[in-house]
Structure 1
Amino acid sequence: MATIGLDGKPKVRPMQYMVLEDGKLWFCTNSKKEVFAELQANPFVELCGCKLEKDEMQTPWIRFSAEAVFEERQDIRDAIIDKSAIVNALYKTMRDNPIFKVFYLKDIDGWMTNLGHVKGLENREEFARPVHFKF
C-alpha cells in the first residue's frame, strides 16, 4: 500500500486486507503507527500486487487507487481479530483497545491484467485482456 508520508514523500508498505464485509475491503492499523497519521492527513492510497506464475508472462497483477475511510466498528474489529493470527496475538485480550483502528476503501478504481501486457511484446491470444474496474 502506498501512501503520502508526512514528509510529502511516497511510502510503501505491505498491507493485508483483513475482511470483506458490507461489500467493502477492510484493513486495520494502530493509531500509533505512521501509516495512521499519514492516512489522517491524506486518505488516498494506491495498492499493487501480483502472484508470480511459472510462465511469468501469465503472472496476474492488480493495481488500484482508493480512499481510506476509518470507522468505529466493533463487529469489524472482532472479525479481524478472529481471522488474523497476528492481530489476534496483539489484541485478543484487548478487543476494545482504542489504538486498534479499522478502515475500508471507497471509490476503488483500478486494473487487472498480466505481465504479458507490456509495451514491446506482441499481443498473444492466450493473454487475459486488461480489465478496468470501479466500485
Structure 2
Amino acid sequence: MTEEEKSELLPNGTMGYFSTVKANGFPQTRFWQFQFEEDGKFYFATNNTKDVFAQILNNPKVGFTVSEPNGKYVIRIVGTAAIVTKPSEKEEAYSKMDKIVLSLYKSWSNPLLEIFYISDCEVKYTKGFGLPKVIKY
C-alpha cells in the first residue's frame, strides 16, 4: 500500500474499531473515530473518565481496524499509544480534529479531553482475502 492509497482509504474522520487490553488481559474493542495521521502518528481523542483511557495507561498496546463494508479492503493499525501532554502539541492536534470532537470538547484545554496517537506501528492493508501489504512506522 502506498501513502497515497492509505490517505484515500483512511481519510480523516474515518470510523472503525479501536482495541485495547483490559486489566484482566482480554481485548476490548469499540466503535471509534480516527482523527488524522501526521509523521507516522495516527491520532485519536477520548475522555479521560472512560475505561478506554485507563486501559491505554495500563497497557499502551492498541489497535485500530477499518474495513470497507463489502469486504473490498481492511486496514489494521497495531502499535503503541502515546498521550499528548505538551500543551502546544495538544492545541495543534486539537485544531486538526473532526468537527464532532471539536463540538464535544469545545477547547483543547478541556480537562476531560485526552489526545493520543498510535506510533511504533504496523499498518496492514488487505484487499479482499489476499495477503496483507505492510507499512512500518
Q: How does the TM-score come out when normalised to structure 2?
A: 0.74
CA drift of 1:78 comes to: 2.9
Query: Once the 2 structures are TM-superposed, how far is the Cα of residue 25 of structure 1 from its aligned partner?
Result: 1.5
61-70 or 71-80, which deviates more: 71-80
Residue 29 of structure 2 is aligned to residue 9 of structure 1: no
The aligned residue for residue 79 of structure 1 is 96
Are 2:124 and 1:111 aligned? yes
Structure 2: which 5+ residue stretches go unaligned? Answer: 1-17
Deviation of 1:8 after TM superposition, in Å, equals 2.4
How much does 1:40 deviate?
0.2
| CA deviation profile, 1:13-71 (whole Å, cap 9, x unmatched) | 12211123344211111110100000000000122221034xx5xx1112231100001
Cα 1:116/1:95, change in 2 over 3 Å: closer
Q: Residue 130 of structure 1 corresponds to which residue in structure 2?
A: 132
> Within the alignment, does 1:42 sit opposite 2:59 as a pair?
yes
Residue 88 of structure 1 corresponds to 102
Which runs of 4 or more aligned residues in structure 1 lie more than 6 Å from their structure 2 counterparts after TM superposition? none
1:66 is the counterpart of 2:90: no
2:33 is paired with a residue whose SS is: coil
Q: TM-score, normalised by structure 1?
A: 0.75
Q: Unmatched 5+ residue regions in structure 1?
A: 118-128
Question: What percentage of residue pairs aligned between the two structures are identical?
Answer: 30
Aligned residue identity for 1:130: P
Q: CA RMSD in A?
A: 1.8
Q: What one-letter code is carried by the residue in structure 2 that aligns with 1:15? A: W
**What letter corresponds to residue 101 of structure 1 in structure 2?**
E
Instruction: Name the structure with the higher strand share.
Output: 2
